[in-house]
Amino acid sequence: MRSTGVLAGVPGVLSDEEVAATAAWVADVQLPSGLIPWFEGAHADPWNHVECAMALTAAGHVDAANAAYDWLARHQLGDGSWFNYYVGEAVKDPRLDVNVCAYVAAGVYHHLIATGDVDAAAQRWPMVERAMDFVVGRQRGDGAITWSLDRAGRPESYALLTGSSSIFHSLRCAVALAERLDHHRPAWELAAGRLGHALVHHSESFAPKDEFAMDWYYPVLSGAVTGEAAARRLDAGWSRYVMDDYGVRCVSSNDWVTAAETAETVLALDAAGRRDPALELLARTRRHRREDGSYLTGIVYPQRVTFPGDEVSSYTAAAILLAVDALSDSSAAAGLFRPGALVDTLDWPESGCPFAAS
């Protein structure tokens, strides 16, 4: 059985000691309350907070990860959601982003796989259940999921491809968690099937945001698009989003390379079985690495100017650690984004859909 506490390096890319330094840096950013802000003095959001908790779990900082999930449990709202941004204990942005609320399911299931701690998962089950019921309640008639509710509780009129892709993965994690804990949530399975169908067959259900790299790779990373279709998608967008010598553009129209998007593309490549380009792309993130193990959020080329100026971010370091885990197969949760890690959902088209299976 693979280790659940030591995150190994990737030969030729990052040493064991460098990986440990990055994990320690993320742990140092965490506040005494358990909240993990983007960087010291910055705000936090629950999605990136969970991503950091996942990275800490994989790297063996289990107590810190537990504190992060405890923070979520204490701050969950009555309807199962969380606010969009927090600064310390204060709310900075009261919007309810549905994807931000959904990611707790991926985090809790990841923690269960990595640590084997069933008691912790069971303790967190009510939190996950409330969150996913909130998420499923935001599903539209076409299977897509509304991206947010404003401060007055009014749902936005559109859905986002990246956010819905992440929700698709979170729903599948939630179903797997329910099964592991001997619960059954067929409504979640149905919601995942409807959402997965929309992601694959109905691009018109989502707001056009394809200038963002996440709209390119997230359907693959989330497991909505797999096999030959995943390969075609990655190939089709490669020249648009990837600067081969530097990494992945956050936005296709700007030569601004972000280490987080680069690391997430590494995870998508790993999910598609493309290990060699994944290794090469992860190596490009070394330009973002600082001596203390932190990572610059972004670099603009050809000027090589950091943007935002000299900013290092916890979510960027966390994405790097999760990519390292996938390529080193260090933790038992290293393959969470790969096909086969979660049970496939049924393709569930809406009534009258021309793409319904015959």
Does residue 2 surpass a pLDDT of 50?
no
Residue 357 is predicted with a pLDDT of 61
Does residue 281 surpass a pLDDT of 70?
yes
CA pseudo-torsion sign 249, 250, 252, 254? negative
Q: Is the Cβ–Cβ distance between 181 and 122 less than 8 Å?
A: yes
Does residue 311 surpass a pLDDT of 70?
yes
Does residue 120 surpass a pLDDT of 80?
yes
Place of tokens 């996950």: 128
Residue 3 is predicted with a pLDDT of 38
Q: pTM of this prediction? A: 0.95
Q: Is the Cβ–Cβ distance between 281 and 242 less than 8 Å?
A: yes
Residue 5 is predicted with a pLDDT of 57
Helix (H) or strand (E) holding 71, with range, is helix 62-75
What does the pLDDT average to over 91-109? 97
CA distance 282 to 339: 21
Does residue 351 surpass a pLDDT of 80?
no
Does residue 331 surpass a pLDDT of 90?
yes
Residue 347 is predicted with a pLDDT of 74
Helix (H) or strand (E) holding 91, with range, is strand 90-93
Query: Over the stretch 180-221, which tens digit does the pLDDT of each residue have?
Result: 999 989 999 999 999 999 999 999 999 999 999 999 999 999
Does residue 68 surpass a pLDDT of 70?
yes
Does residue 164 surpass a pLDDT of 80?
yes
- Please give the CATH topology (third level) of the domain spanning 16-328: Glycosyltransferase (1.50.10)
Report the half-sphere exposure of 120 (CA within 13 A, side-chain side): 20
Give CA separation, 264 vs 11, 137, 341, in Å: 19, 28, 17
Number of Cβ within a 10 Å radius of residue 231? 15
Cα of 198 vs its chain's centroid, Å: 20
Residue type, 249: R
Helix (H) or strand (E) holding 173, with range, is helix 161-180
Residue 224 is predicted with a pLDDT of 96
